[in-house]
Copies of this chain bind each other. A is one copy, B any other.
Amino acid sequence: MTADRDLIALDWGTSSLRAALIAPDGTIEDRLSSPDGIMFANGRSFDSIFETLISPWLARRPPPRVLASGMIGSRQGWVEAPYAACPAGFADLARAMAWTTTARGVRVGFAPGVRAEHAHGTADVMRGEEVEIFGAIASADVSDAVFVLPGTHSKWARVVGGRIVGFHTFMTGELYGVLRRHSILGRLMPEEGEEEALDADAFAQGCAAAQRSGAPLHELFAVRTHGLFDRLAAAALPSYMSGLLIGEEAREALALMGAPCGPARLVGRGDLAERYALALGLFGIETVSAGEDLAFRGLHALAGELTRMEDER
């Protein structure tokens, strides 16, 4: 059997890099977080960022395994990893890893993304979320569930028998951002702060409008008329618009995928997770947290899978 090794897990996305040193039993022994996302490399090579931040952990013996997930494995990243096709299980991910060797001779593995093909020739992709989903599967010992991953491009994924059988992406977060910053709707709202305070009543009102209407291009204009006729205070308009969009996402997802049998497992935390729990509650969907440190959990489970594969050879 392959000797137990530590794992260096890299959750390396567009806007940040988070890394953990993980013992064979899954204990996180050290961690770091930096703003060196792939969009902020500013001419430095990923190799050099890796050396600067990670090299203290490389001194361990036996040398740790290094695995990465997220946009670092995209065309704009360090090495382009492929997309594994749905249904995609743990072993499919492990087999489709991409590899590179750094200038100082360290092997780094990149988790593949996952691709879903829909009817009529449209497709969906995720990159990074799949490792979080497998982290949740591994840590909660659940093999059948619907996972909801809120964000710029939110994902709803169905897992059956431990495999991602299908998923859908929704442009919710990005749409909120461009409408807030660049549209006439944003002009009626207060200046945008670091994080927008949630007005739960206005948010619920927006969700309810999305749920009963099914006509988002129309309902969005009510953000303007609510402001114009003082039916909502300017400070409540961002929450109303957020409710409209997250409510519309939930309406679409439930129409496309059907209601989940058990609670929906929510990946993420803080204000955004709170909003999704509120919205899904209004649709009668119970939510539970999918857990913490899911990218690290997923990469650790993937390391175990790679060890098994190596032992079988």
Contact = CB atoms under 8 A, between A and B. Distances in A.
Contacts of A120: 208-209, 212
Contacts of A182: 178, 181-182
- Tallying the copies of this chain within the complex gives 2
Contact of A217 (B122, B170, B181, B185): B170
A137 to B, nearest CB: 24
Interface stretch (A218-226, A268-276, A283-291, A296-304): A218-226
B255 A214 contact: yes
Interface residues of A, number: 45
Contact of A153 (B209, B221, B228): B221
A215 interface: yes
Contact of A219 (B122, B181, B183, B212): B122
Contacts of A219: 122
A146 to B, nearest CB: 15
Interface in A181-216: 181-185, 208-209, 212, 214-216
Determine chain A's interface SS by DSSP, over half rule.
helix
A120 B206 CA distance: 11
A168 interface: yes
A249 B218 CA distance: 8
A225 B181 contact: no
A217 B231 contact: no
Interface string A117-156: 0001111110000000000000000000000000001000
Given A171-B218, A214-B252, 10 more contacts: A120-B212, A122-B209, A122-B222, A123-B231, A124-B221, A168-B215, A168-B218, A178-B183, A215-B255, A216-B216
